[in-house]
Amino acid sequence: MGDKYVIMGAAGFGRCRRIAILAAVAFATGFGMFAAPASSQSLGDRFKSLFGVRPEQPAEAAPEGETDLTCPPVSIRAGASTYAVAAPGKQPVGNDLRVQATITRTARDCTKNGDQITARIGIQGRVIAGPAGAPSTVEIPLRVAVVQGGVQEKTIATKVYRTTVSMSEDGNVPFALVAEDMVYPVPLGAAGDSYIFYIGFDPQALKPEPKPKAAKKK
């Protein structure tokens, strides 16, 4: 067993309401980008059942007698804290913005099995419709990476996860994702103290992989 560790019409009103919400989210996100690593928090009953921790209990708390495993803190990668989608052929700004997603909370736990650590990273966020109107569903691409911090950061492991969100009439929908299978080698000595779980949106992950070039015929 491993060790657990918005006087105007209704349409105009709705558009102004969405703009106001987006402005509030943008302000909150911008403020948060100046913070140090995002604090890991409980994500409500769903995440509590997955992680088995209370809101006030650190996710990395180890059972009595087990102190050799450090579960890294979670930090939102700079420049990857929001995901904006534009109308076709447009930039995701102003009236051309269709949806904007942001990350609001995180949680994690770690389990050591032999020389490997399996981490579960919980991510909770919100998708808000923009002035251009949101599609019925939105695919959210998220990247999780285990990074050894320092003068020169070293990526230990990285993986992309996707979740699809069905938009509601009011255009304000929460989303949640748990990366269950982030596996990486147990760090040597005190190296694990400098490890960080970096998370963020990765739009590039939605682009199809380039097709391999066909070999030229001789």
Q: What is the pLDDT of residues 198-217, one digit of tens each?
A: 999 998 877 765 555 655 55
Lowest mean pLDDT among 11-15, 130-134, 172-176: 11-15
Cα–Cα distances (Å) from 27 to 6, 36, 124, 148, in that order, read 17, 17, 18, 30
- pLDDT at position 33 is 35
Provide the strand spans (E) within 71-149: 74-76, 82-86, 97-113, 116-129, 137-148
- pLDDT at position 98 is 94
> What burial letters (b/e) apply to 132-154, b meaning 16+ CB within 10 Å?
bebeeebebbbbbbbbbeeeeee
Find all residues with CB under 8 Å of 66, minimum gap 6, and list them. Answer: 3, 5
- Which of 32, 119, 118 is closest to 80 using CA atoms? 32
Q: 77-134 pLDDT, tens per residue?
A: 999 999 999 988 889 888 999 999 999 999 999 999 999 999 999 999 999 999 998 8
Domain ranges across the chain: 3-204
- pLDDT at position 62 is 39
Q: 148: which 2 tokens?
A: 């050894």
CB 22, CB 33: distance < 8 Å:
no
- Bridge partners, residue 177, by sequence: 123
At which residue do the structure tokens 């403020």 appear? 31
State percent of the chain over pLDDT 70: 63
